[in-house]
């Protein structure tokens, strides 16, 4: 039951980071949008590529650092895991749940049903991924997280078994 609570907290943190990153203006998260939406936003002068790239970097680096550190702390400190195998399985679970949570809850539900994400002048450009696109992207990330979980597990063992 504790792992379910941790997964809920981890996904909640993910959501809060996204909300914090975009603030009260969806344009701050233009890098999340499909290319056609980005191109329209550039064409109508909502922003430019350089500004979007800066915002993406300013968001993504802290975003990944906070999520990675949180995951390391949950697995290594909260759960007390010290072996690679157990750390790997927990990391894989967290990363895969986060992956599908992002695709279904964030992309399809939050973005799909909230007017917040509609950019002025881009209303006619599809900005919500189709189910086919979600399944393709999340399927690919499922495979990538198999390797990513090994990196997290290695860090857990290194930090919490060897160093501490």
CA 111 to chain centre: 14
What are the tokens at 143? 């495979």
Strands (DSSP E) contained in 6-55 are none
Q: What is the pLDDT of residues 34-88, one digit of tens each?
A: 999 999 999 999 999 999 999 999 999 999 999 999 999 999 999 999 999 999 9
Integer angstrom CA distances of residue 15 from 9, 30, 108, 122: 10, 16, 14, 24
C-alpha–C-alpha distance, residues 86 and 141, integer Å:
21
Predicted model pTM: 0.94
């Amino acid at each position: 039951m504790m792992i379910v609570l941790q997964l809920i907290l981890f996904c909640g943190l993910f959501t809060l980071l996204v909300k914090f990153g975009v603030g009260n203006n969806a344009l701050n998260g233009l890098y999340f949008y499909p290319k056609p939406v980005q191109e329209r936003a550039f064409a109508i002068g909502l922003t430019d590529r350089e500004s979007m790239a800066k915002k993406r970097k300013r968001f993504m680096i802290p975003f990944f650092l906070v999520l990675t550190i949180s995951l390391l702390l949950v697995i290594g400190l909260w759960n007390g895991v010290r072996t690679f195998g157990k750390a790997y399985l927990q990391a894989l679970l967290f990363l895969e749940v986060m992956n599908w949570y992002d695709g279904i809850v964030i992309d399809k539900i939050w973005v799909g049903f909230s007017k917040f994400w509609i950019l002025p002048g881009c209303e006619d450009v599809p900005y919500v991924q189709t189910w086919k696109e979600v399944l393709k992207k999340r399927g690919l990330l499922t495979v990538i997280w198999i390797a990513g979980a090994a990196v997290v597990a290695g860090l857990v063992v290194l930090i919490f078994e060897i160093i501490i």
